[in-house]
Chain A
């Protein structure tokens, strides 16, 4: 592969080198979290984590494990930087993002460390493009303190059923209300729009429901504008887990299969809009 022979000599200078035969395996998953311009990259030996935040109320993370990459070399325990995500996506799609079978853009992503740009070598059909994107000091992502021990309610649904609901949601409603309960209505999405209310109910024994673990009845409202970006992740995913904790914080975890059938994860954390008295 032309890219690997080219940069053999510089290999020692980079603290992070990640290669993909198909750049779409990275760009598709990044599109699921592109609702703000800037993203925080955090690389560890386990893989790459990309974080995007909105006003400290919403956080989206995309995880691409090291196994997904054809080559993944990291010289430090943790490498972090911030880049303009829109620019990065434009570079990854620089060859036009064609979806013709057998044609894909190969990627070699390299980073020398603090103060250096992120360098992308992209190749398609023998043509090589080099992109250098300026990096910034990574901001510390908000810690939502969402841990498994605090989780009160959890369901795992097949995305297909939620995709329909989300595409039909009444956007004139300012909030999306999520009710999870061990008894009726089990799992309910509600909107309160200009023309009236709408409720989407998923029973616990539905064949779309892969897991249902609700310990107590909780109703929480989340700003529709905050959750709207998550529909991109939903569209890519095949399964989604919905969890709320005792504070009403929401965690949405999406299982995404890439072009090669490998699994990656995207998660969204969202603060509740207001406390609703529990039934």
Chain B
């Protein structure tokens, strides 16, 4: 693989590496036809992050002939590559272009910085070939979705000290709140509890399928928030009940970044807890081209529908509005008018999953119409 980045793109690339360094000790470079993915997983497999840069992000992006359908995935030590991008201010000031080449024969990644004054810095880093790990996470199946400018989330988390390991995100139809989380056994008198809440209107997109409190590691998320703020991108949050992973993502025309974190099984418990499920981290097979594995092409569209830009309505199998009964099954806590609708009762369609998905999509769309909120 051979690619060239220019000017500001080098700084964005460096910032992505900074964010990934908060997750794990190793960085996986995964050149694919749809772009270059940078991934990192922590040792406990409880945090995963992926930054995908589309070919348009680069001035030049070529996959070598040896790549084809079997791409070379390089695993580098974070401590080898992070120093090259450590000082972003220097990069912004002096780097004009950056070229990255992956040479399979001698197991080296060559990163060259072409700087002002004709100066060239070349780094030959050793890598290990490995299977790229990728979190299997079906965000389109998440009942709860939030979307807000990075600044809003950034301002919420900045109230917590840098040493704060875990926080709990709670969602009800009336509010979203964040509070710090402490494991049991600590002296409650010595701890400062911080909690802040936001009204659903503060979010560009607010959807609640099930009230929940999820507890996850804040430290691992900060990198993504910082990246999103520097690019002024909105952050989407997909989650469900406690114990299920939470996914934070940002995207624009030329890049996508995702952080998937596992959550504690029972955030109310004061005893030491293990995460309910570690993320399903599976080797990426070359044929699949999406990070989040869609069950069918239609559902891949469903996921896109979750992102307000480019909305698609997926027709239900009956071609009719959803049944009230099915809706109430899933959304029994809600009382806000714009989440309910009067619908004719229709016979239930094929499988529960299909119905859930369709209900889910239609609800969201109608929610938009009812509240009259424009997606950003």
Contacts and interface: CB of A to CB of B under 8 A. Distances in A.
Contacts of A203: 118-120
B198 to A, nearest CB: 42
Given A164-B90, A164-B94, A201 B83 contact: no
A203 B121 CA distance: 12
B3 interface: no
A56 interface: no
A249 interface: no
Interface of B: 76-77, 79-81, 83, 87, 90, 94, 108, 117-126
Interface stretch (A2-10, A190-198, A250-258): A190-198
Interface stretch (A104-112, A121-129, A205-213): A205-213
A199 B121 contact: yes
A161 B124 contact: no
A202 interface: yes
A198 B113 CA distance: 11
B123 A208 contact: no
Nearest to A201: B120
Given A168-B83, A196-B108, A201 B122 contact: yes
B83 A206 contact: no
B121 A195 contact: no
B35 to A, nearest CB: 25
Contacts of B126: 195-196
A214 B3 CA distance: 34
Contact of A198 (B108, B117, B122): B122
B125 A201 contact: no
Given A164-B90, A164-B94, A196 B123 contact: yes
Contact of A202 (B79, B108, B118, B124): B118
Contact of B80 (A165, A196, A208): A196
A210 to B, nearest CB: 12
B118 A206 contact: yes
Given A195-B77, A196-B80, A196-B108, A201 B123 contact: no
A206 B80 contact: no
A200 interface: yes
A198 B76 CA distance: 16
A203 B117 CA distance: 9
Given A164-B94, A168-B83, A197 B120 contact: no
A202 B123 CA distance: 15
A205 B118 CA distance: 8
B119 A197 contact: no
Contact of A196 (B117, B119, B121, B125): B125
Interface of A: 161, 164-165, 168, 170, 194-203, 205-208
Interface of A is mostly: mixed
Contacts of B94: 164
A196 B117 CA distance: 25
Looking at B79, B80, B81, B108, the one whose CB has the most chain A CB atoms below 10 A away is: B80
A194 B81 CA distance: 12
A164 to B, nearest CB: 6
Contacts of A165: 119, 121
B82 to A, nearest CB: 10
B89 to A, nearest CB: 11
B254 to A, nearest CB: 28
Contacts of A194: 80
A165 to B, nearest CB: 8
Given A164-B90, A164-B94, A198 B121 contact: yes
Contact of A197 (B77, B79, B87, B124): B124
Contacts of B124: 196-198
A194 B76 CA distance: 12
A201 B80 contact: no
11 contacts: A165-B119, A165-B121, A195-B76, A196-B124, A197-B124, A198-B121, A200-B119, A200-B121, A200-B122, A201-B122, A202-B118
Given A168-B83, A195-B80, A198-B123, A207 B108 contact: no
A192 to B, nearest CB: 10
Contacts of B108: 196
B88 to A, nearest CB: 13
A168 B117 CA distance: 17
Contact of B117 (A197, A199, A208): A208
B79 to A, nearest CB: 7
Kindly list the 5 A-B residue pairs having the minimum CB-CB distance in the complex, ordered from nearest: A195-B80, A206-B118, A196-B125, A201-B120, A199-B122
B125 A195 contact: yes
A202 B77 contact: no
Contacts of B122: 198-201
A202 B119 contact: yes
A202 to B, nearest CB: 6
B117 A207 contact: yes
B28 to A, nearest CB: 16
Nearest to B110: A196
Nearest to B93: A164
